[in-house]
Chain A
Amino acid sequence: MWHRDSDRFRLFTRRALMLGAGKGVLLTGLAARMYYLQVLESDRYQTLADENRISHRLLPPPRGLVTDRFGAPLAVNRQNYHIMIVREQTPDVRRTLEILDQIIELGPDTIERVERDAARRRSFVPVTVRDNLTWDEVARVGVNAPDLPGLIIDAGRSRDYPEGPHLAHTLGYVAAVSEKELTGDPLLELPGFTIGKNGIEKVYDLALRGTAGTSQVEVNALGRVIRELEREEGDSGNTVVMTLDLELQRYTNQRLSDQESAAAVVMDIHNGEVLALSSHPAYDPNAFTNGISHKLWNSLVNNPYAPLSNKAVNGTYAPGSTFKMCVALAGLEAGIISPNQKFFCNGHLDLGNARFHCWKRGGHGWMNMHDSIKHSCDVYYYEISQKIGIDRIAAMANKLGLGEDTGIDLPNERSGLIPTKDWKEIQLGKRWQGGETLIASIGQGYVLATPLQLCTMTARLASGKAVRPHLTRDNVTPEGVTSRQAEEFPELQVSRANLARIRDAMNGVTNELRGTGHGARIAIKGMEMAGKSGTSQVRRITMRERQTTGVLDNNDLPWKYRDHALFVAFAPVDNPRYACSVVVEHGGGGSSVAGPIVRDLLLKAQELQSARQGISAADQANSANLRRNPAHSDQDEG
């Protein structure tokens, strides 16, 4: 028995030690695993733990401001208050909302939506109850805060355009980022983030956007923020100072507001600074900031006067007689005509089987270059353009800035069209016809230009330099803003004498008796303007119409068949400083409709300049009188 038991004991001891050894091995295995995880792989897991725990949040930077040339705010960021509710901080979401409803109007739909959203989200996630609270509403909610547990008022920023529609086309607007605009920049994916969609806001979006700040927060497994670990504020966007003069801009808008549809540009002929750029009708860019309503959008899109389009840079029009300076200058420069060479206008010119009419029935008689511009004689241009040829005319037009982008810092600029023989062969596959040169010489046919191009052309004629328009005082790049070096535009490579002759002829238009623009002259000494009217046809006048009823008066035609009224001018005549162009769509006669607007804008520009220099304009009263009683326009060309 004892012997047996000691056998059993020995067996037990052996087996127990084997078992113990096994356990030792297993425990060593655990220790080895622990060493592997906590020493060998520690760095990797440390990173993973931090990734778990630390959430990087972007802090959207305030968007840069846009001001006019004197610092008046054109685009700013407005504090935008919204009220949010946190489910876990209120005993009863519905009850809290009902109390809130009595303080600020919510409506049953909002209450229901918020209740639904709050129930769906995690209890600590704030749900927006209402956006865009007025300061008064914020104050009322604040006073009642003890009765409103779980409500928080949060201040965000939204873009605001204090001038409303006044600068809609130039500034553009901002709106939420669309799917295709995502670039991978996480800033763009922030809810509520807006980017420039049009105008300056779009062109200088990167400079205005600024750089995002970051906030490192510690979050728990549910995503609840425990604390902020680190915060790095971003840099707000650059302030963009525009060349626009807000006062002149406002005046321009006001001056166009009588018209159905029109555009105007005023610029400084020396440095290309655009002082006013207007397209009428406009829209309110503020409507886009928080998402435009479907109804408003549709009404803007379907409006026949195209309020969304910036006609000053996107609208192309046959320049009509405003093109005549180009043709005349081309002729003078090519030596094909001399200033005093005369051509006889008997009211029409026959070329082959076709008859080309002058706007003046019966004709102008003998015309030299000066008179041809002053009276806007068409036959003179029919005569000389045959000799000059379309390609020389086109080359001069290009030199004056037509047919190509001006390079203005606005999106969707159109380059208009200056036809050449090659252009027609390539684009239309047809040979250039001699008659087409005649049509082109009076700025009709294929010739198209934007109001901005016409203004640029006028500025170039006035300055003799290849001026280019721009809208910002400084050089704005995505990297930042650097002050613009006084730009030296190259000389036009046109004889100064010839330019002076053209300018003198333009002076004749407005300041000599029987000039077509005499009625729209500025009668103040030292402020006179020199210009040229244009009236461009949008329909074909048939032989039958001429023979039966005679050419129909604009007022007898539906709006969309009426002529476009154009006028370009610079002032003051003896020391040019400003150039201006106005196009009134289907407005009728250039000198009677567009001329007075140009006159007022150029006068205003000069008055503002004098006022700002502390020099009161010589006789402001006179100018006021003049504006009240504009002399009746002598005539209108066809």
Chain B
Amino acid sequence: MAGSRFRIGEDPDYVPIGRRLLLLNWTLVLLIAALSGIGFAMLYSAANGSLQPWAERQMMRFAVGAALMIIIAVTDIRVWLKLAYFSYFVALILLVAVEIKGDIGMGAQRWINLGFFQLQPSELMKISLVLALARYFHGLTPEDVGRIPLLIPPILMVLAPSALVLRQPDLGTTLLLIAGGGVIFWLAGVRIWKFALVLGTALAAIPIGWQFLREYQKNRVLTFLNPENDPLGAGYHITQSKIALGSGGLFGKGFMLGSQSHLNFLPEKQTDFIFTMLGEEFGLVGGMALLGLYALVITYGYVIALRCQNQFGRLVAIGVTSTFFLYVFINIAMVMGLIPVVGVPLPLVSYGGTVMMTILVSFGLLMSVSIHRDIRISRQGNDDGRN
């Protein structure tokens, strides 16, 4: 019993703060810092060799985010368990709020201005959904997972925010929410045939869902299916991105020497297409190195999950790792013309404060899982074995 090692105060699982800092996964912190560092360099290049307007602000956000990450990491995992549903409902209410605001205001407004910070409820939801689903499935026995009525609440927990986000409309985040939620279902042990059923239904619903897509979303999908169709219009982004990557070759054109990026043929080079710029300037070698770093981070997430003694922690670990993976995969596949342009940034590298925050907060949770891996938690959310 893990608790037996720490019999301090009322909580047998209490770990002193200094000890927690020691237990912190510094390797992971280093990997995250390395990825962010690559991001700074690319943003510096994107601005033609200047810290303005992107690199410097990105560094400041990283500093704030990294501090937040460590605070979250050293916070007891049970705190996050207890806050799981609460944060989910807060996120949901905020999503409804932006929806109402968006209806009143004009166009797609996705954030709430908190004065010092623009909060995107959809970003908060990405984390909260993982937490809430992890908590829900943490409370179910393997037999419970087989009972369909018990699967209805978590399905609603996924669908409600997904529907709201889709209405914003933000196809990328919707996909991330559904896929991230699906991962938790999968890990909790939901039968494969049930997935097959849902997937089949979803495929059947595509023609219906198509009608709910906005014109630009339809165009994105159509353009993806045939990018050369409209080389100066919607297909321009993908075509130019492929040209930039391909012309980078094996070793790239050199730092700050990417012609596609610096002559503005490449759109959105500091955000969604930053991987393209890296590929153009550092070639296959640079792209593979970045992909390798991402793979290491993801593997690390798996190691943490598999070492964890409580179901909540395991689910959260794989949940956030999978969300991270989805970001990476969707972004890179998108810029290489494998999937439609859905507007998902490259985590830690792309310019953007909210995504940086989301990712660092989720890594904070991952590390919290790691630090508190030995704590056993009962299904009801109390310390295991005490009820």
Name A's B-contacting residues (CB within 8 A).
Answer: 1, 4-5, 7-9, 11-13, 15-16, 19-20, 23-24, 26-27, 29-31, 33-35, 37-39, 41-42, 44-46, 48-50, 52-53, 218-222, 226
Q: Is the CB of A53 within 8 A of B263?
A: yes
Cα A20 to Cα B295 in complex, Å, equals 10
Chain B nearest CB from A311 CB (Å) reads 56
Task: Decide if the interface of chain B is mainly helix, strand, loop or mixed.
Answer: helix
Cα A37 to Cα B314 in complex, Å, equals 37
User: Does B58 make an interface contact (CB < 8 A)?
Assistant: no
Chain B nearest CB from A596 CB (Å) reads 73
CB contact between A52 and one of B263, B295, B322 (< 8 Å): that residue: B263
Residue of B242, B247, B332 contacting most chain A CB atoms (<10 Å): B247
Instruction: Give the residues in chain B near A37, CB-CB below 8 Å.
Output: 242, 245-246, 279, 336
Known contacts A38-B283, A48-B247, A30 near B291 by CB under 8 Å: yes
- On chain B, which size bracket covers the interface? 35 or more
Q: Is the CB of A42 within 8 A of B333?
A: no
Name B's A-contacting residues (CB within 8 A).
Answer: 141-142, 183, 186-189, 240, 242-250, 259-260, 262-265, 279, 283-284, 287-288, 291, 294-295, 298-299, 302, 305-306, 311, 314-315, 318, 322, 325, 329, 332-333, 336, 338, 385
Known contacts A38-B287, A39-B284, A45-B247, A220 near B189 by CB under 8 Å: no
Cα A39 to Cα B248 in complex, Å, equals 9
CB contact between A38 and one of B183, B245, B302, B329 (< 8 Å): that residue: B245
Q: Is the CB of B322 within 8 A of A38?
A: no
Q: Is the CB of A16 within 8 A of B305?
A: yes
Nearest A residue (CB) for B283? A38
Instruction: Give the residues in chain B near A39, CB-CB below 8 Å.
Output: 249-250, 284
Residue of B183, B245, B262, B322 contacting most chain A CB atoms (<10 Å): B245
Known contacts A33-B336, A37-B242, A39-B284, A19 near B322 by CB under 8 Å: yes
Cα A504 to Cα B309 in complex, Å, equals 133
Q: Is the CB of A19 within 8 A of B265?
A: no
Cα A24 to Cα B325 in complex, Å, equals 10
Cα A218 to Cα B264 in complex, Å, equals 12
Instruction: Give the residues in chain B near A11, CB-CB below 8 Å.
Output: 142, 189
Cα A49 to Cα B258 in complex, Å, equals 10
Q: Is the CB of B244 within 8 A of A27?
A: no
Residue of A35, A38, A50 contacting most chain B CB atoms (<10 Å): A38
Q: Is the CB of A53 within 8 A of B311?
A: no
Instruction: Give the residues in chain A near B187, CB-CB below 8 Å.
Output: 12, 15-16, 19
Nearest B residue (CB) for A35? B284
Cα A46 to Cα B260 in complex, Å, equals 10
Nearest B residue (CB) for A219? B263
Residue of B141, B243, B260 contacting most chain A CB atoms (<10 Å): B243
Instruction: Give the residues in chain B near A46, CB-CB below 8 Å.
Output: 246-247, 249
Cα A7 to Cα B249 in complex, Å, equals 49
Chain B nearest CB from A330 CB (Å) reads 75
Chain A nearest CB from B233 CB (Å) reads 14
Chain B nearest CB from A567 CB (Å) reads 70
Chain A nearest CB from B154 CB (Å) reads 16
Instruction: Give the residues in chain A near B385, CB-CB below 8 Å.
Output: 1
Q: Is the CB of A45 within 8 A of B243?
A: yes
Cα A8 to Cα B243 in complex, Å, equals 48
Q: Is the CB of A23 within 8 A of B246?
A: no
Q: Is the CB of A15 within 8 A of B186?
A: yes
Q: Is the CB of A34 within 8 A of B245?
A: yes
Instruction: Give the residues in chain B near A29, CB-CB below 8 Å.
Output: 333, 338
Q: Is the CB of A53 within 8 A of B259?
A: yes
Q: Is the CB of B284 within 8 A of A34?
A: yes
Q: Is the CB of B306 within 8 A of A13?
A: yes
Known contacts A34-B279, A37-B336, A27 near B264 by CB under 8 Å: no
Cα A48 to Cα B265 in complex, Å, equals 11
CB contact between B311 and one of A5, A50, A222 (< 8 Å): that residue: A5
Instruction: Give the residues in chain A near B260, CB-CB below 8 Å.
Output: 49, 52-53
CB contact between B306 and one of A16, A23, A53, A219 (< 8 Å): that residue: A16
Q: Is the CB of B249 within 8 A of A42?
A: yes
Q: Is the CB of A38 within 8 A of B279?
A: yes
Chain B nearest CB from A594 CB (Å) reads 69
Q: Provide 7 A-B residue pairs closer than 8 Å at the C-beta atoms, listed in order of the A residue.
A: A12-B188, A19-B322, A38-B248, A38-B249, A46-B246, A218-B259, A220-B264
- Apart from A12-B305, A30-B336, A45-B245: 13 A-B pairs, beta carbons within 8 A: A4-B142, A7-B142, A12-B188, A12-B311, A33-B338, A35-B284, A39-B250, A41-B246, A42-B246, A42-B248, A48-B243, A219-B263, A220-B265
Instruction: Give the residues in chain B near A41, CB-CB below 8 Å.
Output: 246
Cα A38 to Cα B188 in complex, Å, equals 40
Residue of A16, A29, A50, A226 contacting most chain B CB atoms (<10 Å): A16
Cα A422 to Cα B164 in complex, Å, equals 98
CB contact between B314 and one of A7, A12, A23 (< 8 Å): that residue: A12
CB contact between A49 and one of B247, B311, B336 (< 8 Å): that residue: B247
Q: Is the CB of B322 within 8 A of A42?
A: no
Instruction: Give the residues in chain A near B142, CB-CB below 8 Å.
Output: 4, 7-8, 11
CB contact between B325 and one of A23, A31, A221 (< 8 Å): that residue: A23
Residue of A33, A37, A41 contacting most chain B CB atoms (<10 Å): A37
Known contacts A7-B142, A218-B259, A52 near B302 by CB under 8 Å: no
Q: Is the CB of A34 within 8 A of B288?
A: yes
Cα A362 to Cα B250 in complex, Å, equals 107
Q: Is the CB of B250 within 8 A of A27?
A: no
Instruction: Give the residues in chain B near A42, CB-CB below 8 Å.
Output: 246-250
Instruction: Give the residues in chain A near B243, CB-CB below 8 Å.
Output: 45, 48-49, 52
Cα A226 to Cα B260 in complex, Å, equals 13
Cα A490 to Cα B189 in complex, Å, equals 109
Q: Is the CB of A221 within 8 A of B141?
A: no
CB contact between B265 and one of A15, A34, A53 (< 8 Å): that residue: A53
Cα A20 to Cα B298 in complex, Å, equals 9
Chain B nearest CB from A40 CB (Å) reads 9
CB contact between B141 and one of A4, A20, A45, A48 (< 8 Å): that residue: A4
Instruction: Give the residues in chain B near A23, CB-CB below 8 Å.
Output: 298, 322, 325, 329
Cα A197 to Cα B354 in complex, Å, equals 67
Instruction: Give the residues in chain A near B299, CB-CB below 8 Å.
Output: 20
Q: Is the CB of A26 within 8 A of B329?
A: yes
Q: Is the CB of A45 within 8 A of B242?
A: yes
Chain B nearest CB from A11 CB (Å) reads 5
Nearest A residue (CB) for B299? A20
Nearest B residue (CB) for A15? B187
Known contacts A8-B311, A15-B189, A52-B265, A30 near B333 by CB under 8 Å: yes
Known contacts A8-B142, A12-B314, A38-B283, A20 near B242 by CB under 8 Å: no
Cα A26 to Cα B186 in complex, Å, equals 18
Instruction: Give the residues in chain A near B283, CB-CB below 8 Å.
Output: 38
Instruction: Give the residues in chain A near B186, CB-CB below 8 Å.
Output: 15, 19
Q: Is the CB of A16 within 8 A of B141?
A: no
Q: Is the CB of B318 within 8 A of A16?
A: yes
Cα A8 to Cα B188 in complex, Å, equals 8
Nearest A residue (CB) for B265? A221
Q: Is the CB of B263 within 8 A of A221?
A: yes
Instruction: Give the residues in chain A near B295, CB-CB below 8 Å.
Output: 24, 27
Cα A225 to Cα B186 in complex, Å, equals 55
Q: Is the CB of A44 within 8 A of B141?
A: no
Cα A222 to Cα B263 in complex, Å, equals 9
**Minimum-distance CB pairs A-B, first 7:** A45-B246, A49-B247, A220-B263, A221-B264, A38-B284, A42-B249, A53-B259
Nearest A residue (CB) for B332? A30
Instruction: Give the residues in chain B near A50, CB-CB below 8 Å.
Output: 247, 259
Instruction: Give the residues in chain B near A26, CB-CB below 8 Å.
Output: 329
Instruction: Give the residues in chain B near A53, CB-CB below 8 Å.
Output: 259-260, 263, 265
